[in-house]
């Protein structure tokens, strides 16, 4: 089509294979070292324009708009109607995302097979019906293996995201729920058919002697395997090849490069097709139009549906995924309609290299928007999308690294106008302001973060900022807001701040209720219970503290700090909590296997021995503390040890 090297590199997957080899050599360190800006930047410059190429193909010419009206108009309205619905219904959003997730590899598969057929027919030799059929089975069953794993294994559904940008979204794909035994049997069957059909197709193609077709078809079969079949099979069967692109499942970086390979392949075909037209504007003008149209379809929905306007989700928390789903599903539908090799116009250009002069001229409409005006507006969207990458990946990060926090705030305000404000970036800016002591500025950023997406983590930050100002009512407001979040629970730190706030506002019974609520949950953490115990003992509520520490030790019996704190209470409390024998048991647990020895833990042990009427053990422990403190140069601990010895008559 364009020559052996560009054909193989761009259309047949040789370029991706070389990238694959580079990552095989570099392994996971190379994968993890890929700069964060690479994905969004190349998505704008390469992936985005390939969607624009489809829009040009379906909408630019009036005759094409008429020919594909069912898809270009009615299917488009349906897709974007579901998209609008998904923004207000999480169940619809999840299914819409699942359709995108499942359809995407099928779209890639169809394109790979179509390109293979183009090169097979351009080679001039005979491709027998059985060779074509077996090759078709090879591509279909490669996808079938992927589909079955995706909808049988839970980890399969979360390991693959066909979009080229990572989001922080909470939207998850839904599985079809294929029973494990049935799914396993079907995967085995599809894998066998895949292997047999691939080998059979290769044998028949070799037998025809059509050597010109073998190399491009071979690379396309290999590309299909590397994109989907092999990584998902290695993951499913737990195989190890020693090659990171195969052994690591399907992490974002490798899916991203597969998406780039697909987009470049698509550009190759669309550019070749467009060049056959008598109205071909040249490569720069054509690719510029693709960039502008692709940028518009990705950018405009995010601006119009931003949370501050009519939307409900911020871009990174759901809107971005839904835009990706709508753009891609729309692209899949149009692509399936406009590229069919059985259509004479398509075949004459892509296979026979004829000029595109089959379309009869149609009278222009009486009124039309000037082309320069349309493309100027669309070009503006391209500039906006490229600018957003610069602001997000370079300007904001640079401002944060240099501690130019006012500049970082200005960048986020600019991104807000573009529909790309971010709750996580606002929270990060709030953290930076809090570290500088600007608690009011920090809380302002936290509040903006919560306007975009309410999370327990940011409410905890708000409570911490308010506790620093002794705004205890504000702390309780943050705690109550976090408790109201669906499917969430306040963090241990937030519970501790709330408990402290209840003590400070004279509500000890409600402080105890915080502990009871945490302990009643299915999966309380020992460290959270221990934190609440510390808050309670600081407030003088030994009963609640003992209950919290005991709960923590039931979950984590070897927790030294908790054992020490509880031992001190049981050894020193003058009321009902006193239990010297239990104090000794816990204090001995606290010092066990602690190397180097902790002088505070040893002091608790000495105190517990004294409370349990074991003066010899208490004297020996104080003497040990004195020796260690002297050796370490800890004068305060040495003085305390001497005082203890004097009290016990061992000095």
Q: 126-135, 361-370, 526-535, 589-598: lowest mean pLDDT where? A: 361-370
Look at 195-209, 346-360, 375-389, 465-479 and tell me which has the smallest mean pLDDT: 346-360
Instruction: List pLDDT tens digits, range 176-230.
Output: 888 889 999 999 999 999 999 999 999 988 887 666 778 899 999 999 999 988 9
pLDDT of residue 155: 47
Q: 154 pLDDT band (50/70/90 cuts)?
A: low
pLDDT value at position 477?
A: 96
Predicted local distance difference test score (pLDDT) of residue 639: 92
Q: How confident is the model at residue 362 (pLDDT cuts 50, 70, 90)?
A: very low
Which of 239-243, 352-356, 533-537, 646-650 has the least mean pLDDT? 352-356
pLDDT in tens, 378-401: 888 899 999 999 999 999 999 999
Count CB neighbours of 313 within 10 A: 24
For residues 436-475, b (16+ Cβ closer than 10 Å) or e, as one string?
A: eebbebbbbbbebbbebbbbbbbbbbbbbbbbeeebbebb
Inter-residue contact 467 to 501 (CB < 8 Å): yes
DSSP string, 184-241: HHHHHHHHHHHHHHHHHHHHHHHHHT-HHHHHHHHHHHHHHIIIIIHHHHHHHHT---
Residue 26 neighbours by CB under 8 Å, 6+ apart: 33, 244
Whether the predicted pLDDT of 507 surpasses 70: yes
Q: In which region does residue 482 sit, left (phi positive, over 0), alpha (psi from -120 to 50) or beta (all else)?
A: alpha
pLDDT over 90 percentage in the chain: 63
Query: Domain locations in the chain?
Result: 4-356, 567-651
pLDDT confidence band for 357 (50 / 70 / 90) = low
Between the CA of residue 627 and those of 5, 606, 623, what are the distances in Å? 79, 14, 6
pLDDT band at 174 (very low <50, low <70, confident <90, very high): confident
**pLDDT at residue 359 is higher than 50:** no
Residue 498 scores a pLDDT above 50: yes
Please determine, for residue 376, whether its predicted confidence score (pLDDT) is greater than 90.
no
b/e burial code for range 559-574 (CB count within 10 A of at least 16 → b): bbbbbbbbbbbbbbbe
- What pLDDT, on the 0 to 100 scale, is given for residue 279? 81
Long-range contacts of the stretch 436-444 (C-beta < 8 A, 24+): 436/403, 436/405, 439/465, 439/468, 439/469, 441/405
Radius of gyration of the chain measured on its C-alpha atoms: 33
Q: What is the DSSP letter of 366?
A: S
483 vs 343, more confident: 483
* Tens-place pLDDT, residues 42-95: 999 999 999 999 999 898 888 888 888 888 899 999 999 999 898 888 889 889
Region 595-604 average pLDDT: 92
**Least confident stretch, 245-249, 432-436, 443-447, 621-625:** 245-249
Rounded Cα–Cα distance for residues 129 and 125 (Å): 13
Spatial distance between the Cα atoms of 619 and 609, rounded to a whole number of angstroms:
9
Predicted confidence (pLDDT) at residue 418 exceeds the cutoff of 80? yes
Summarize pLDDT for 445-457 with one digit per residue, the tens: 999 999 998 999 9
pLDDT of 121 over the 50 cut: yes
- At residue 360, the pLDDT reads 45
- Segment 220-245 shows an average pLDDT of 91
pLDDT category of residue 156 using cuts at 50, 70 and 90:
very low
Report pLDDT digits (tens) over 618-631. Answer: 999 999 999 999 99
Mean pLDDT of the chain: 88
Q: Give the mean pLDDT of 160-173.
A: 63
């Amino acid at each position: 089509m364009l020559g052996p090297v560009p054909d193989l590199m761009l259309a047949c997957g040789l370029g991706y294979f070389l990238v694959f080899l580079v990552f095989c050599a570099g392994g996971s360190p190379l994968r993890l070292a890929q700069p964060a800006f690479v994905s969004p930047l190349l998505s704008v410059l390469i992936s985005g324009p390939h969607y624009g190429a489809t829009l040009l193909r379906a909408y630019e010419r009036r005759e094409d708009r008429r020919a594909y009206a069912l898809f270009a108009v009615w299917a488009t309205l349906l897709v974007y109607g579901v998209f609008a619905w998904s923004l207000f219904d999480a169940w619809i959003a999840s299914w819409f995302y699942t359709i995108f997730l499942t359809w995407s590899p099928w779209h890639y598969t169809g394109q790979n097979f179509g390109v293979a057929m183009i090169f097979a027919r351009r080679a001039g030799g005979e491709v027998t019906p059985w060779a074509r059929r077996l090759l078709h089975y090879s591509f279909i069953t490669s996808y079938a293996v992927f589909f079955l794993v995706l909808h049988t294994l839970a980890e399969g559904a979360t390991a693959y995201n066909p979009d080229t940008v990572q989001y922080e979204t909470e939207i998850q794909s839904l599985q079809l729920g294929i029973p494990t035994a049935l799914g396993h049997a079907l995967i085995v069957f599809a894998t066998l058919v895949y292997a047999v059909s691939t080998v059979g197709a290769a044998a028949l193609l070799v037998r025809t002697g059509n050597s010109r077709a073998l190399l491009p078809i071979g690379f396309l079969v290999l590309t299909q395997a590397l994109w989907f079949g092999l990584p998902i099979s290695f993951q499913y069967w737990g195989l190890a090849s020693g090659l990171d692109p195969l052994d690591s499942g399907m992490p974002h970086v490798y899916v991203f490069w597969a998406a780039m390979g697909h987009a470049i392949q698509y550009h190759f075909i669309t550019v070749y097709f467009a060049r056959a037209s008598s109205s071909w504007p040249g490569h720069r003008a054509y690719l510029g139009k693709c960039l502008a149209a692709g940028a518009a379809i990705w950018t405009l929905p995010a601006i119009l549906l931003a949370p501050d306007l009519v939307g409900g989700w911020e871009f990174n928390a759901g809107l971005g995924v839904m835009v990706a789903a709508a753009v891609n599903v729309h692209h899949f539908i149009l692509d399936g309609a406009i590229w069919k090799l059985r259509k004479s116009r398509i075949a004459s250009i892509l296979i026979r290299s004829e000029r595109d002069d089959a379309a009869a001229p149609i009278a222009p409409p009486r009124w039309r928007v000037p082309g320069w005006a349309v493309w100027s507006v669309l070009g503006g969207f391209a500039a906006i999308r490229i600018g957003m990458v610069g602001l997000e990946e370079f300007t904001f990060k640079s401002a944060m690294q240099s501690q130019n926090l006012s500049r970082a705030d200005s960048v986020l305000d600019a991104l807000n106008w573009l529909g790309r404000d971010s709750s996580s970036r606002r929270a990060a800016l709030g953290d930076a302001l809090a570290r500088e002591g600007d608690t009011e500025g920090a809380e302002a950023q936290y509040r903006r973060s919560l306007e975009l997406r309410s999370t327990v983590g940011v409410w905890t930050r708000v409570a911490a900022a308010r506790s620093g100002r002794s705004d205890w009512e504000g702390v309780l407001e943050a705690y109550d807001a976090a408790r109201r979040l669906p499917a969430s629970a306040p963090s241990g730190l937030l519970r501790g701040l709330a408990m402290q706030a209840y003590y400070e506002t004279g509500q000890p019974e409600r402080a105890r209720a915080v502990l009871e609520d945490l302990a009643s949950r299915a999966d309380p953490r020992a460290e959270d219970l221990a934190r609440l115990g510390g808050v309670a003992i600081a407030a003088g509520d030994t009963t609640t503290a003992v209950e919290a520490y005991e709960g923590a030790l039931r979950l984590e019996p070897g927790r030294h700090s908790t054992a020490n704190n509880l031992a001190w209470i049981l050894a020193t409390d003058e009321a009902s909590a006193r239990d010297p024998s239990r104090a000794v048991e816990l204090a001995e647990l606290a010092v066990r296997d602690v190397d180097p020895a902790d002088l505070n833990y040893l002091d608790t042990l000495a105190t517990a021995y004294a409370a349990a009427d074991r003066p010899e053990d208490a004297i020996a422990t104080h003497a040990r503390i004195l020796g260690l403190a002297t050796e370490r140069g800890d004068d305060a601990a040495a003085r305390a040890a001497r005082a203890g010895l004097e009290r016990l008559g061992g000095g």
